[in-house]
Amino acid sequence: MWDELQFAFALTVSGLSIGLMYSLIALGFVLVYKATEAINFAQGEFVMLAGFVAAVVLAAKGMPVLAGVAAAVAVMVAFSFALERVVLRPLLGRPIIAVIMATIGLGAMLRGLPPITVGGETRAVSLNIGDLPIGIGPASLPPIQILGVVVTLIFLGLFTWFFMKSRMGVAMRAVADNQQVAMAMGINVERYFALAWAMAGIVSALGGVIWGSMLGVDVHLALVGLKVFPVVILGGLDSIVGAVIGGLIVGLVESLAAGYLDPYVGGGTKDFAPYVLMIIALMFKPYGMFGTHRIERV
């Protein structure tokens, strides 16, 4: 009985830590959707690009870890600003499907970029934090997961302060709530569209460094975006709280499925269990647990 409780505790701790790391990337989806009402299907590719930037910088002899992180953040912010100005701003006022297709096409382009520029081999993002597991009661986690949890919690705290206390955050909330009213109040909506994409770039940079360190960096790292998609659907596309709660739930479901179901079916349940959960959630809560319900009058 005690062994079973320890096993369940270890699965729970591992699942919740991975779930928080999912939440960090899910925030990128939520930020863009809240500001522009478009889903960025290239979010996974953003994470992959940031991972490649960090890996290339850290591969240079003598480069400190902070240099790799700073380079990833700087490149992703600049890339997001340029993307919003050159590609997405001309699509304002067009059907949302145009923006969605633009992000899908962008994702395909980004996946093809690394093999022809830096090569297709898997690259390491070495953060010099060691590999020795850290004990948490009867559970143990690798240092990279502990770091991922700490970074996510710090960013969530800063993110909450920005939205609740700063003038720019309040203006960004106004734009997310009603763009026409925000424009009538003198808020530069286009500027805050760009800010939303830049913040999504920062989230992608942090996610790329953490997930790249844990999994290695190659074109397959972009699949993290698809892994996170059930998180935002479950929590609600326009809910920051939903992104966090959804991430914790999905991480926990993955961990429990791998621990209890894989031995009976030969493995792989953690890969599809979140999507089963997502489909069930859509049947009962189409807007997610915390998403805004939209009522359209015909």
* Burial class of residue 33, CB neighbours in 10 A (0-12, 13-18, 19+): buried
Percent of the chain beyond pLDDT 70?
A: 96
Query: Taking the complete model, does pTM exceed 0.85, yes or no?
Result: yes
Rounded to whole angstroms, the Cα distance separating 200 from 115 reads 24
Contact 34, 239 (CB under 8 A): no
- SS3 per-residue string spanning 235-294: HCCCCHHHHHHHHHHHHHHHHHHHHHCHHHHCCCHHHHHHHHHHHHHHHHCCCCCCCCCC
**Is residue 224 predicted with pLDDT exceeding 80?**
yes
pLDDT of residue 18: 93
Instruction: Place 291 in a pLDDT band, splitting at 50, 70 and 90.
Output: confident
Rounded to whole angstroms, the Cα distance separating 153 from 273 reads 26
Instruction: Place 294 in a pLDDT band, splitting at 50, 70 and 90.
Output: low
Which parts of the chain fold into alpha helices (H)? 2-36, 43-59, 65-83, 96-117, 143-165, 167-177, 179-184, 189-215, 224-235, 240-260, 262-265, 269-284
The torsion defined by the Cα of 161, 163, 165 and 168, in degrees rounded to 10, comes to 130
pLDDT of residue 75: 94
Which residue segments constitute the domains of the chain, with CATH numbers given? 2-127+141-284 (1.10.3470)
Q: Say how many Å lie between the first and final Cα of the chain, rounded.
A: 58
Percent of the chain beyond pLDDT 90?
A: 30
Instruction: Place 159 in a pLDDT band, splitting at 50, 70 and 90.
Output: confident
pLDDT of residue 298: 46
Secondary structure of residue 71 in the 3-state scheme:
helix
Q: Which range, of 18-27, 89-98, 280-289, averages the lowest pLDDT?
A: 89-98
Tell me how long the chain is. 298
Q: Please provide the average confidence, as pLDDT, over all residues in the chain.
A: 85
Contact 224, 23 (CB under 8 A): no
Q: Which range, of 20-34, 169-183, 201-215, 244-258, averages the lowest pLDDT?
A: 169-183
pLDDT per position as a tens digit, 53-84: 999 998 887 788 889 999 999 999 999 989 88
Contact 270, 262 (CB under 8 A): yes
Instruction: Place 168 in a pLDDT band, splitting at 50, 70 and 90.
Output: confident
Instruction: Place 293 in a pLDDT band, splitting at 50, 70 and 90.
Output: low
Rounded to whole angstroms, the Cα distance separating 24 from 263 reads 30
pLDDT of residue 282: 84
**Is residue 151 predicted with pLDDT exceeding 80?**
yes
